[in-house]
Amino acid sequence: MLSRRRLLAVAGVGVGVLAAGCAPDHRPTLKRLQANEAVRVGVANEEPFGYLDSYGQLAGESPEVAAAVLKGLGITSLEAVQRPFGQLIDSLLAGTFDIITAGMAITAGRCERVAFSRPDFVAPTAFLVEEGNPRRLRTFVDVARAGEPIAVLDGSIEQEAARAAGIPDARIKPYDSPGHLYQAVFQGDAPVGALTDISLHNLLGRHPQSPLEVTPGLPLEGRSVSQPAGAFAFRPADTDLVDAFDAGLTAVHQSGEWLRIVAKFGATAANLPPAGLTTARLCQQS
The count of other CB atoms within 10 Å of the CB of residue 145 is 13
Q: Tell me, what DSSP letter sits at residue 217?
A: P
Q: Which amino acid is at 60?
A: G
Domains 14-121+229-273 and 125-214 share a fold: yes
Note whether 273 and 227 are within 8 A (CB): no
Euclidean distance between CA atoms 50 and 156, whole angstroms: 14
Residues 169-198: tens digit of each pLDDT: 999 999 988 899 999 999 999 999 999 988
Between 23 and 132, the higher pLDDT residue: 132
Residues 97-127: tens digit of each pLDDT: 999 999 999 999 999 999 999 999 999 899 9
Question: Any alpha helices (H) in the chain, and if so which ranges?
Answer: 14-19, 29-36, 61-71, 88-93, 108-111, 140-146, 157-164, 178-186, 197-205, 239-255, 257-262, 279-283
Task: Count Cβ atoms within 10 A of the Cβ of residue 224 and give its class: 0-12 exposed, 13-18 middle, 19 or more buried.
Answer: exposed
Residue 23 has pLDDT above 60, yes or no: no
pLDDT band for position 31 (50/70/90)? very high
Euclidean distance between CA atoms 63 and 60, whole angstroms: 6
pLDDT band for position 221 (50/70/90)? low
Weakest mean pLDDT among 40-49, 81-90, 221-230, 263-272: 221-230
The predicted model gives 252-258 an average pLDDT of 96
Q: Which amino acid is at 89?
A: I
Q: Tell me the CATH number for domain 125-214.
A: 3.40.190.10
> CA torsion angle for 200, 203, 204, 206 (degrees, to 10)?
160
Q: What is the pLDDT of residue 266?
A: 84
Strand partners, 50: 46
Q: Which amino acid is at 39?
A: V
Q: Mind giving me the DSSP string for 45-90?
A: SBTTTBEE-TTS-EESHHHHHHHHHHHTTT--EEEEEE--GGGHHH
Whether pTM > 0.85 for this model: the answer is: no
125 Rama class: left (phi>0) / alpha (psi -120 to 50) / beta: beta
Q: Which helix (H) or strand (E) holds 166?
A: none
- The contacts of residue 218 (CB under 8 Å, 6+ apart) are 124, 125, 126, 127, 138, 139, 140
Strand partners, 267: none
Euclidean distance between CA atoms 86 and 68, whole angstroms: 26
Cα Rg of the chain (Å, integer): 19
Euclidean distance between CA atoms 185 and 1, whole angstroms: 35
- Taking the domains of the chain in order of start, what are their residue ranges? 14-121+229-273, 125-214
Strand partners, 127: 194
Q: Is the dihedral of CA 113, 34, 254, 59 positive or negative?
A: negative
Q: Which helix (H) or strand (E) holds 101?
A: strand 99-105
pLDDT band for position 3 (50/70/90)? very low
pLDDT band for position 223 (50/70/90)? very low
Q: Which amino acid is at 66?
A: A
The count of other CB atoms within 10 Å of the CB of residue 260 is 11
Q: What is the pLDDT of residue 1?
A: 43
Euclidean distance between CA atoms 21 and 221, whole angstroms: 52
Residue 71 has pLDDT above 50, yes or no: yes
Domain 14-121+229-273 has what CATH class?
Answer: alpha beta
